[in-house]
Every structure is written in C-alpha cells, then in structure tokens.
Structure 1
Amino acid sequence: MLDRAETLSVRTKRFLPYLLAVAIFMQMLDTTILNTALPSIAYDLNASPLTMHSVVISYTLILAIFTPISGYLADRFGTKTLFSAAIFFFTLGSLLCALAPNLTALIGGRMVQGLGGAFLTPVARLALIKSYPRDEIMPVLNFAVMPALIGPLIGPMLGGYIVEVASWHWIFLINLPIGALAFIAGLSFMPNLKERCSKLDQKGFLLFSSGLFLSVYGFDRLGHGGHLVGALIGLVLGGTLFALYWRYAAFYEKALFPTKLWLIRTYRVGLTGNLVARLGMSAIPFLVPLYLQVARGYSPSEAGFMLIPIAAAGLSAKPFIPHLLRRIGYRPMLVVNTMILTIIISAIAYFGESLSKPGFMALLFLAGFSNSCQFSTMNTLTIARLRPDHVSAGSTLMVVNQQLALSLGVALSALLLNLYPHFVPEATKMAQFKFTFGTVAFFTFASSFVFMRLHKHDGEGLIKKRSKDRR
C-alpha cells in the first residue's frame, strides 16, 4: 500500500497539472471561440444571428445546475471515474454540435457539452489539491490555469479564422482529438480518489436546479419573441420553486446552500452586486462580435482580431489590482469602477460607429481592463468573511451565480435586440445595437447602488493581509 501511494504521488506530480491544464484549455477555448462564429452558424442553419443566444445560454445553464454536485459525485465515485465521464460527455457534445442539422439539435449538443464541462475542471482541480502538499499547491495551480489566460486571447481570432477557411463545424470538431487524448491520459494518470461523503441534499438540489432551469428558460424564451406564454410559465414556475427552496433551506441544517449565508452582509452585497453588474458586463463578449459582423459588416476574422484587446487588458490588469485596492479600498473601487464601465459601454453604444478600428480596439482594451478589476474585486470580497464551514457552499453558490449572470446577460441582450424593432419597425441594425448597449450599460450602473451598501472599511483585512504577505 505504501509503494502504491509513493508511485501514485510521483505519477500525480508529473501528470496531474497537465490534465487540469488541458481541461481548462478545452473549456476556455470552447467558450471564447464560439461567439465570433455565431453569425456564420446562424446563416448556415437558416436562423437569425440575433436569436443565437440559446446556443450560449444552454451551455452556461447546465454548468450552473450541475457544478454544485461535482464535489459530492467525485467523492462518491472517484475523481478518475468522474473526470473520464466529464471528458466523454464534453467530447460527445462537441461531436453532436458539429453534426447538428438545425438550431434545436445544436442547443441539445451544447447541453451535453455543458454536462461534461460542469465536472471537467472542478474534478481535475479537486484531484490536484488532494494530491499535493499544501505548500506546493499554489505554484502548481498557477501553472495549470495558464490556459485560462491563453484561451481568451486566441479563441475569438481562431474562431473567426476557422469559419472563413473551413466551416463552423470545425470549431467543435477540434475538440475531438483533444478530448480523446485527455480521456486516455485521464484513465492512465488520474488517481481515483474517493472520500467518505455526507448525504447529498437531494430535495434541495431538485428544487434549486429546477427553479434555475425554468427561470432561465423563461427568460431565454422572451428573447425569441412569440413565446410569451411559455416564457411567463417558466418564470412563474421557476420563481415558485426558488421560493419553496428558500423555505425548505431555512429549516434544514444541511441544505445545499444554507440561508445563513445571506446573514453575512459582505457576501449578500457581493453576490447581489455580482449578479446585477454581470448582466451588463457579461453581455459584452456576446454582443461585440455580433455588432461588428451584423451592424458594421466586418468579417469573422476581423471581428475576432478586434476582440483580442479585451483578453489582453484582462491579463495586464492583474498586477495593478492589489495596488489599487490598497490605495482606494474595496467600496470606492467597486462603485467608481462600475461607473467607469457604464461610461465605456455607453461609449460603445453611441460612439462605436464613428470610431476607427484602432479607436474601437482601444475602447475594448479599457473595457477589458475595467472588467478584470471588477471581477477580481467582487470575487475576493464576496467570500472574504465566510466561516470555514460555509466556504464550500458559499464559493460554489458564487460560481453558480456567475454562470447564472452570464446566462441572464446574454438572454437580456437578445431580448433587447429583438424587442427594439417592435417599437421602431424601421430601425436599422445599428440602432438595435445602440439601444441594447445603452440598456445593458444601465444595468451595470445600477449595480453601483448595490455596492454603495458596503461599509468604508469592508475588505481592509484582505488588503492588510496581502501587504504583510508581500513583506
């Protein structure tokens, strides 16, 4: 048994970081490569580019639903078993997407992809954390997450290039050889770590996940137009199930997401602000490629190239964030930066048409820099005051909240794009996008009032701790 543990340790240290890196790369590339290709996919499937939001939402929704149980399933069935299943479903979903003859089939394939994606990175990260000594985890994780930084840089441009040189099907087909190699590597090198797990809150999971699915489904239907009854039914049923979950969780000590989390003021404000702010911020990666191709007539590769500054700025902002927080604090950072983002999104709406390519890319660079500052600040403050016994549930709910916000942000964008012509029948595509960008900017601005509820000294402990750690 000792020899096996020693052998396992050597194999793990050599290959586990690469498995996590591949898992993250597959997901990040798949996420960023798609948006640039949506107009081309729409034309090929005889659909409107402005109704392609369901292709994005179907994936993020399934992620949000199944991510909360990834840890439980890994403990029960083993990390190798679940990782291999995740790779299989993600790769199978990619194949189904590539073979999709219509929009409905494509959405189905994306949901299968999402089922695999919900377990892919969390399980690989969990196996790595369990396999390494604490003092070695951080550098290994930093290495493994590098693809998360590279994917957004190359994804949009690669997506546009593939669409022009080959066809949109190859956006999904490139996952097949990567998935096959990752599946074999997982079977060969991933340890099948299990833990004695507590009982899953099945009732809570069923109520929460059903409420989430129906609510987002209802919101998504609104964006298609002509589905008002189905949308309202989904929203009402989803809201009812959320209310039932809240009542249930208030009296069940081991609920999936304890209601006691909401008694923590910074967590409550952070989670709410996260949701409202991301309604506008998460719409940008979806809206901008559509805007450039549909309203301004750029080719997919041109649109992909112009998106590079968003990811590049996100990378360049990371070293400055600790310094900014030490200088101005969390509350001013979130409130002021939210208003800066509002101005940038509004500038895209009302001045984007007249800007040259370099000018527009400079504006996107500012958006990416500000976005990165906002995301990092919101995330660290949200979980800062969680008790040790609430860290797992609180962190997981924050991830679910982020996926929900992304789904709702994309759905809101589609709703606004398709709603405007009903009020202004002669509206041009440019007018539709101006209205949509301007409205999502309002939601970003509204989140500043949420962050104003923070206290002046909130987050000071985090800033001081970082300062001491650097000495």
Structure 2
Amino acid sequence: MTATPTHQRLQPEFRLLVFLVSIGFFMQGLDTTIINTALPAMAQSLNENPLRMHGVIISYVLSVAACIPLSGWLADRFGVRNTFFAAIVIFTLASLGCGLSHNFYQLIFFRVIQGLGGALLLPVGRLAMLKIIPRVQFLSAMSMMSLAGLLGPLMGPTLGGYLVEYATWHWIFLINLPIGLLGMFVTFKAMPNKTEPSVQKFDLSGFILLIIAMVGMALGIESLASREISRNFSYILLIAGFVATGLYAYHAHTHQNALFRSQLFKNKVYTIGIIGNFFARFGGNAIPFILPLMLQVAFKVEPFMAGIMVTPVVLGSLFSKPIIRPIIQRVGYRHFLLINTVLVGACIASFSLTTADTPMWLRALHFFIFGALNSLQFVSMNTLTLKDLPQQDASSGNSFLSMIMMLSMSIGVALAGTLLNIFTTYYGTDQITHAFHTTLICLGAINIITAYIFSQIPKDMPI
C-alpha cells in the first residue's frame, strides 16, 4: 500500500482561483515598486519638491498597515469572495482617482483609499486559498502565486521609469484598471463565498488605538522636517503615537476580544522577531525609495534608465531564495542574523561612496549584493518570528507580523525623507549629493545597531 504524498500538484479546478489571487498579489507588488522611479516626474508635474514626495509612499503603506487587522474579520463576516471583490473594486477605483489627481493632496487622499484595498487583497486572497484548496495542494498553490509576487517588483521600477519618460506619470496608476477589471470578472467565477458560522465582535476600540499609534509615529517622523507643519504639532503626533501604543498594550492584556492578545509576546523568540523586524527593516525598506531618487535628482539619470539600474536589486533578491535555507541550517538563526544585519547596514552605508561617475557594472554589482543581503534578512527574520508559534496563535501572530512589516516600511521611508530634508537644509541644495550620502550613512548605522536585538536569540535555539 502506497503512502499518501504530503504535497500534491494543484488540480485544474483550483488553478483559476490561484490565478485570481495572483492578480491581486501582482497588483499590490507592482504598485509598491512602480512609483519609486516616477516620484521626481510626479513632483515636477504637481509643482512639488521631489524630496517631499515620500508622502505618496507613506500614505499608501500606512493605510495598508492600519487596515490589515480588518482583513480576517471582514472575510469571516461577509465571506472571502465578497471581501476580495470589494478589495479589487476599491483598489481599482482608487487607482483611477490617483491617475486623475491634479494636485498633491488629491493624490495623497486616493493613495490612502488605495491602501485600504491593498490591505485586503493579499491576506484575503491567501485566506481564500487556505479555506478552499486542500492542504496537500496548498504548497503548490502558494508556489504558483509567489511567481506573480516576484513579477510585480521585477517589472515595477523599469515600467515606472518607462511610463513617466515616454508617456505621463498618470499611467503608473491607470495601468491597474484593465488588471482590476479582469480580477473583478474572474472573482465570481473562481472564488466561492466561504464564511464562518460564528464571528466574534470586532475589537473597534483596539483598532482605533492601533491606527492612532501607527499614524502618530509615522506622520510625526515624516513631518519633523516639514516647513508647512510646526515642530510642536510633530511632537504632539509622536506623543499621541507612543501613548496609544502603551494604551493598546494594556488593552491587549485585559480585553478578551483584542485583535492581538498579549499572550503572543510570552513567546520570547516571537517577541525578538517582531522587534527585530520593526527596526531592522527601516534601512532596507527605505532603499527602494531613496536610490531611484538619488539617481535622478543628484546624478541626473533619466527615469527609464534609473528603473533599469535598480533592477539588479530584485535580481539579487531572486538569487537569494534557494540559498537561505542551507545557510541557516548550517550556522543557525542567531549567528546568521547577527552577521547579516551588520552586512546589510554596511551595504546601505556604502551607497554613500557612489557618485554620478561610478561605472555601470560596479553599480549593478553593488545593487545586486544589496538585494541578496536584504532578501536574506527579511526571509530569515520572518521565519524566525513565526517558527515556534503554537497553532492557536498562528493566525493573529502572522497578521501582527504583516502589520509590523508595513508599519516599519512607512516609518523607514518617513525617516529617510526626514533625514534627507534635514541634511539638504544643512548642506544646501547645491550639495544635494552630500545630503543623500549622509542619509545613507545614518540608515546603515541604524541597521548595524539593531544587530544587538538578534544577540538576544537563545544560543541553543533549535533550527
């Protein structure tokens, strides 16, 4: 008698569902990268300072982070198909609004709405696959879907540069319309509306505290160097963020229906992983924003060429995927994260050595190395964080990690933008290259310091 295989190939009846979820994954992955090379052109069109345009990224990412806790509850309450369809509709209509925006504030408004849709796309799509596809075929389904997640970031920088150079920046958003319409059509053909028979009451008070905490910290940092916003208001935002964080910690400990219960943090490795993810992502998440900006604003590279130049970052990420598991099995999480965190920080700081005259081959190699190191960092941190969670905490633990990842991205970009504006004021606009270089050194130093967090990983922790 032959044993039942642990993993099976995906059956044809589920391929359309995986294709549908891949559409959402592709749209989200493309949107987070296509905009980076377009920021200077957008700034010129909207009569804004290019160094202020990081708000376009922060507004989207922060909205995603704030709305992730909603995704699971909405899917359970209204069904995965209805929630996923609503996510695609919101994301597509908001993309249209972004493409038709006439000023900076209109664009920020529609980016926030777009983030609401983006927050639901991937978590709800993944949840639908988990509920509908048999577990023995789930690995095959996730592998197929991950290809779409890789295609978006791979195409994004070059496509964004091409569109703003040969068309207009509006098309980096309008390109989502045909993809979204396809997703809407396929949703009702491919996805049953699975619901849960009983759903707990939503933790509205905890959700509000989380939003205040995230918005306060991210926008407080982002506005510190702003000339339009007073320094006192920035401090008020930061204080509100920290106070809301403390209040939520108390709420999570005392409220039975809290979105994220405090018992999650009784797991030492999970706690280290969350703190490490939060701080060690600042620099790595800021680089996709700051490198295309430096290439175009400081080195005067055309948008399309800037997009091509940063493609090796994604190629380095692809290269790292097969080697992460054997490396960790050989050296363990503690040694690997201690060393790799320092290497990522050193690599970020070393971008300060590049100039407009740096040879193309050397720049490509530099970007490739960073992409590989950064991907190794993210994958190893995520795996460490979730590996020892008990089954009953797996869902909330994964959702909290996803929220922290997006929050760290928004704060990382906000921090990079704030530092860049501070150093531009200090050096003067005629020394903009020095401002970029000093910002990169600071971001690298922060990353190196956070290696201390991973020194708290138990030395005898099993792999």
Q: What range describes the TM-score normalised by the shorter chain of this pair? A: over 0.9
Q: How does 1:70-469 map to 2 (within 5 A)?
A: 70-195=71-196, 196-227=198-229, 228-425=231-428, 428-458=431-461, 460=462, 463=463
Tell me which moved more, 84-93 or 346-355: 346-355
In structure 1, C-alpha distance between the alignment counterparts of 2:213 and 2:443, rounded to whole Å: 24
Tell me which moved more, 140-149 or 404-413: 140-149
In structure 2, C-alpha distance between the alignment counterparts of 1:65 and 1:178, rounded to whole Å: 25
Offset from partner CA, 1:248-282 (integer Å, 9 cap, x none) = 22112332111222222111111111111111111
In structure 1, C-alpha distance between the alignment counterparts of 2:262 and 2:29, rounded to whole Å: 32
How far the C-alpha of 1:146 sits from its partner, in A, is 0.7
In structure 1, C-alpha distance between the alignment counterparts of 2:429 and 2:242, rounded to whole Å: 36
CA contact (8 A) 2:264 2:270 kept: yes
Tell me which moved more, 426-435 or 328-337: 426-435
**Aligned residues with identical type, % of pairs:** 39
Q: 1:14 to 1:162 in 2, by over 3 A?
A: same
Offset from partner CA, 1:178-204 (integer Å, 9 cap, x none) = 111111211333211101222222221
Dislocated runs of 4+, deviation >6 Å: none
Match of 2:41 in 1: 40
Residue segments in structure 1 that go unaligned for 5+ positions in a row: 1-8, 464-471
In structure 1, C-alpha distance between the alignment counterparts of 2:329 and 2:220, rounded to whole Å: 42
Match of 1:467 in 2: none
How far the C-alpha of 1:426 sits from its partner, in A, is 6.5
CA contact (8 A) 1:12 1:191 kept: no
Question: TM-score, with normalisation over the residues of structure 2?
Answer: 0.95
CA contact (8 A) 1:223 1:412 kept: no
Offset from partner CA, 1:58-115 (integer Å, 9 cap, x none) = 1111111111121110111111111111111101110110111111111111111101
How far the C-alpha of 1:217 sits from its partner, in A, is 2.0
CA contact (8 A) 1:204 1:245 kept: yes
CA contact (8 A) 1:53 1:414 kept: yes
Coordinate RMSD, CA, aligned: 1.6
How far the C-alpha of 1:52 sits from its partner, in A, is 0.5
How far the C-alpha of 1:375 sits from its partner, in A, is 0.6
CA contact (8 A) 2:161 2:304 kept: yes
CA contact (8 A) 2:83 2:124 kept: yes
Match of 1:6 in 2: none
How far the C-alpha of 1:457 sits from its partner, in A, is 2.4
Q: Give the AA of the match of 1:205.
A: F
In structure 1, C-alpha distance between the alignment counterparts of 2:397 and 2:356, rounded to whole Å: 42
Tell me which moved more, 425-434 or 108-117: 425-434
Residue segments in structure 2 that go unaligned for 5+ positions in a row: 1-9
In structure 1, C-alpha distance between the alignment counterparts of 2:214 and 2:368, rounded to whole Å: 33
Offset from partner CA, 1:149-192 (integer Å, 9 cap, x none) = 11111110011011111100111111111111111211333211
In structure 1, C-alpha distance between the alignment counterparts of 2:306 and 2:243, rounded to whole Å: 41
Q: 1:306 to 1:333 in 2, by over 3 A?
A: same
Q: 1:269 to 1:420 in 2, by over 3 A?
A: same
CA contact (8 A) 2:341 2:450 kept: yes
In structure 1, C-alpha distance between the alignment counterparts of 2:437 and 2:106, rounded to whole Å: 31
Match of 1:466 in 2: none
In structure 2, C-alpha distance between the alignment counterparts of 1:330 and 1:391, rounded to whole Å: 20
Match of 2:5 in 1: none
In structure 2, C-alpha distance between the alignment counterparts of 1:327 and 1:364, rounded to whole Å: 26
SS of 2:450's equivalent? helix
In structure 2, C-alpha distance between the alignment counterparts of 1:234 and 1:313, rounded to whole Å: 37
CA contact (8 A) 1:12 1:131 kept: no
How far the C-alpha of 1:11 sits from its partner, in A, is 8.6
How far the C-alpha of 1:10 sits from its partner, in A, is 8.7
Give the total of aligned pairs: 452
How far the C-alpha of 1:226 sits from its partner, in A, is 4.3
In structure 2, C-alpha distance between the alignment counterparts of 1:93 and 1:79, rounded to whole Å: 21
CA contact (8 A) 1:335 1:451 kept: yes
